Chain A
């Protein structure tokens, strides 16, 4: 039995919870079977400890057990009376399910004693005792009031449980919401019911404060910033937003689940939406079903309903905070901006709520979308690389903020925003993005040929365009499609890639036309280019010799290597400058 118990429960401290729960169910049983006796009894649970002797005891004024019941329920695994009673009376507030709870006593105790007197025969009391959970004995005992007292003489390694502060914190944690009074020595641990059960708590401000206090009690690892009440059909409780900051996918969810007043565990984080890494919850549910170990939940229909209710409460609650509590909302946004960016993508209502509130990381710092759009004429420029490239140069000159698309959720958020709200997405480093930046210009053939002759070279396509800033004469951009085509269609690919799949890849690259792998956008708005086109051939030649080397110098693309040899470019530039000065 001890082995079974150890396997079933993760922590020996659960024994305290199980025994208090048995005590609770025993009082409940008496309510059903012996209402008069129940009404006149004290109806409470008393937990006591004796650290000197390493003992704890749990006493109730419940139904008690007859000799037959002792044999049937305490000494046989998995045949708890509670289940039978539960099947018989649907409305009972019983917690136990499996008849396994008492097993935990044998895990932690060297010697277990059960002093009990049943309401069915109040004149006769019994003592059940067992050492190590191997053998047991039942004998008549001196008379006692109806009810049960379980005494555990703890094993050496569990003696800590008999320390008042250890036992106290366990009972407060697990049994703080039980409906029958629980006492540890002189302390009434569940004097105040949880706010959702407290009929006195009608004042909204006091209610809010009570919810926050409860969140503070359970949010030991992640303190609450604000609390949201959950008032669903399948569960009641409180969700709180963490006061500590999160980033992106940081997942600090935890959900304390109480079933009929007893804490089952806090491992069921999945009950909160996956995007809510910044929130925790304490909930109570009548309908959730624990697994046999009673430390996890069965994933049934009620589980799904609770999940849906928590999601709903959180979304609505965030909306309410945004609307009614400006200062709190500001704190929520400041601390969880990235996580909220991600969550906005997961739910359209959250998106509507957050779209104008969250900030995006940009080259000008963290900015709201509205701000970015104002500064960039209705466009959202998003970079997809760490830094560098012509874009950096271009946008620095233009004073336009560029969203760092490589930061968590920034790019998908921009996509969603431009799809659903307004503005245009310009994805830098893509062909489409380039065509947004560089407005093509139709030049006369002669002028186009001049530009090609001046700035073109092998594997470079010269495209006349207009773009800001005017001071920038040209921008050199790699054509990634063509570069990929060349790699896939090279002989080296034949050696590296299996033939069948290479065939498929080449079906794709066959559709990419053969063209140079670099694109040089020449800025026809640049005064230097304008003058060059108008100049006499001699003057133009001199100017081009000065300007052309700049192509190489401005060709850094953010990749590891520059596209052309910089040293040669500098040498050519110096030579041209000297010539000009001498002329």
Chain B
């Protein structure tokens, strides 16, 4: 059955029954997906799904969820959190009420795509089996015939079977011709080009790319072709064309499915001498690799780390190359089938980098600051053996700073942890431990950060407050107001609590709605702080509570012409504009009657016009 014909009919039916919004959403969703409008896809799907359920049409739910997965997995590679959704969709689309939906077949492809993205070479046999099983159920007249065939070819490629992949493309094209399924341009250009690349046949690949003319595949398809053109041109020594074809990495940053092709193209351009292999390029690659890893695309991240190490070695950044090798090694351990044919060539490349790096580099003296973080790292790594050595405070700071800035958080945590373990005394372990907790907290592991701090045990004086401040920072970053409050309350019960902590608790209490408590704390802070630093807070809170004595005293401290006493303040301090926190665009003209009070004079300005729809 033709999916699009069904969809058009379904939309007409929805329009007739008044489900206009849903009908429109169904219309927009596929274009948004192929045009890589990911945010719009998310915005729309969240709304369309319940509408489809309300319309009591499970076929539509299958359709929406399939396209959502296309965007999440095929474009954004967010496989870690999409795998459960793909399994759910498979189950949903196999139920009696949905199995005849023409889009149901695609649920198998969605799940196969998840595994292809998770670890392509690791799941070759399963992916081939799924694709063949599905192809046996459909014929070339189905729109999904091409998608499933494409997945079959990709699986062959991931299995290192490029010749077979090429033959498969030929078979698919012949079967389309046989069924007279004419396309605007030959089918499966992208997979065929990838096969030709794998075989080193770049001229043919470029010819194939020149035939591409498929507006229906949107800007996503266009970009996939463009990136491959860049690589082909570079491989053929056509430097200008190659350079023009390689997009700015920012233009693909939202679509990780282009990262791998971009990295390979960039490497080809570097090899051809069309672009510079510099620290900036290294940073781009690191960001891409980190995103792939974050998404759970293990094999692709491994590949990127391998290329990253090759490029770093190529530009003489040997310590950076070592860091990338560590990433490659870590990611390699995640692979399902490390010995799979598709992995072998990459392992060989990683090994080549490792042996080129050989023995540790000769030591050079200083750990210096540098404006370029990679250069600074290279110098630091040449000066100290950061992997085994006990580092001085300064060296530790430089090493941690570099690793953190370059995004090697795991390595930074390792270094900090080792510094704690090798410290000669608890006093010497204090700073590294605070730093370690900070790194853990930044990396999102607040609980471990708190445990690391708790291991400091009971401290005295300045050290007590260093620990306390670190804990408060962790809780603030975590955004857990209740735990933050508990901790701050305990801290503020101490006589030596710094006024900053008291003021922080005051602000928290105000946010949590306990204004009276907030005022008490602000008053306490204002006594210890220089004039002006906490007084505005006092004026604000005390006014809200009608505590005029406090308002007057604090206003006085702020230098306002207010007498002491307990009477409410009712002055005439001139005209002001009142802005409402919950409606910031509404401005009213008012008479200021005190430090933070005013009486509204007019509900709208004398010349302001009012229009229909102005009030919510």
Contact = CB atoms under 8 A, between A and B. Distances in A.
Contacts of A341: 43
A91 to B, nearest CB: 28
A342 B108 contact: no
Taking residues whose C-beta sits less than 8 angstroms from the other chain, chain B's interface range is: 35 or more
Contact of B480 (A333, A378, A484, A503): A378
B94 A496 contact: yes
Contacts of A326: 584-587
A376 to B, nearest CB: 9
Given A378-B511, A412-B43, A497 B37 contact: no
Given A249-B28, A345-B42, A412-B42, A501 B582 contact: no
Given A345-B39, A509-B87, A248 B613 contact: no
A335 B611 CA distance: 12
B50 interface: yes
Contacts of A409: 42-43, 46-47
B83 A342 contact: no
A504 B42 contact: no
Nearest to A436: B480
Contacts of B481: 377-379
Nearest to B585: A330
A275 B43 CA distance: 11
Nearest to B577: A326
Given A498-B133, A501-B108, A504-B115, A378 B479 contact: yes
A481 B85 CA distance: 10
Contacts of B53: 386
Interface string B107-143: 0100110010000000100100110111001000000
Interface string B201-226: 00000000000000000000000000
Contact of B43 (A342, A366, A367): A342
B88 interface: yes
B359 interface: no
- Provide the main secondary structure of the chain A interface: helix
A504 B511 contact: no
Contacts of B32: 274
B616 interface: yes
* Most chain B CB neighbours (cut-off 10 Å) among A243, A329, A366, A484: A484
B87 A500 contact: no
A408 to B, nearest CB: 4
A4 interface: no
B312 interface: no
* Most chain A CB neighbours (cut-off 10 Å) among B21, B46, B133, B615: B46
B562 interface: no
A411 B46 contact: yes
Contacts of B615: 334
B95 interface: yes
Nearest to B49: A406
Contacts of A245: 613
A366 B99 CA distance: 40
A406 B37 contact: no
Interface in B17-63: 21, 24-25, 28, 32, 35, 37, 39-40, 42-44, 46-47, 49-50, 53-54
A405 B129 CA distance: 38
Interface in A368-388: 368, 370-371, 374, 377-379, 384-386
Contact of A385 (B50, B88, B130, B137): B50
A249 B25 contact: yes
Interface in B505-536: 511-513
A248 B581 CA distance: 25
B482 A505 contact: no
Nearest to A380: B479
B339 interface: no
Contact of B87 (A334, A413, A505): A505
A367 B582 CA distance: 8
Contacts of B44: 248-249, 408
A411 B21 CA distance: 18
A232 interface: no
B84 interface: yes
Contact of B46 (A331, A374, A406, A507): A406
Nearest to B477: A422
A369 to B, nearest CB: 11
A244 to B, nearest CB: 8
A377 B39 contact: no
A424 interface: yes
B90 A248 contact: no
A493 interface: yes
Nearest to A385: B50
Contacts of B291: none
B223 to A, nearest CB: 14
Contacts of B613: 243, 245, 331, 334-335
Contacts of B46: 384, 405-412
B478 A424 contact: yes
Interface string A357-370: 10000000011101
Given A406-B49, A412-B42, A488 B87 contact: yes
B585 A424 contact: no
Contacts of A329: 585
A366 B129 CA distance: 50
A487 to B, nearest CB: 5
Interface in B88-111: 88, 90-91, 94-95, 99, 108, 111
Contacts of A368: 582
Contacts of B480: 378, 424
Contacts of B9: none
A357 B584 contact: yes
Interface in B577-591: 581-587
Contacts of A503: 126, 129
B35 to A, nearest CB: 8
* Most chain B CB neighbours (cut-off 10 Å) among A370, A377, A386: A377
B488 to A, nearest CB: 14
Contacts of B587: 326-327
Nearest to B482: A377
Contacts of B43: 248-249, 341-342, 345, 408-409, 412-413
A77 B35 CA distance: 39
A399 to B, nearest CB: 10
A169 interface: no
A564 interface: no
Contacts of B123: 504
B608 interface: yes
Given A275-B40, A366-B616, A500 B99 contact: no
The 7 A-B pairs with the shortest beta carbon distances in the complex, nearest first, are A330-B585, A409-B43, A345-B39, A500-B129, A412-B42, A496-B94, A424-B479
23 contacts: A248-B44, A327-B587, A330-B583, A330-B585, A331-B613, A333-B585, A334-B616, A342-B43, A345-B42, A368-B582, A378-B480, A406-B49, A407-B46, A408-B43, A408-B46, A408-B47, A409-B47, A496-B94, A498-B130, A500-B133, A504-B130, A508-B87, A509-B87
Given A378-B481, A501-B108, A508-B87, 19 more contacts: A248-B43, A249-B24, A330-B583, A345-B40, A346-B37, A374-B511, A377-B481, A379-B481, A408-B43, A409-B42, A424-B478, A484-B91, A488-B90, A496-B95, A500-B126, A501-B111, A503-B126, A504-B115, A505-B111
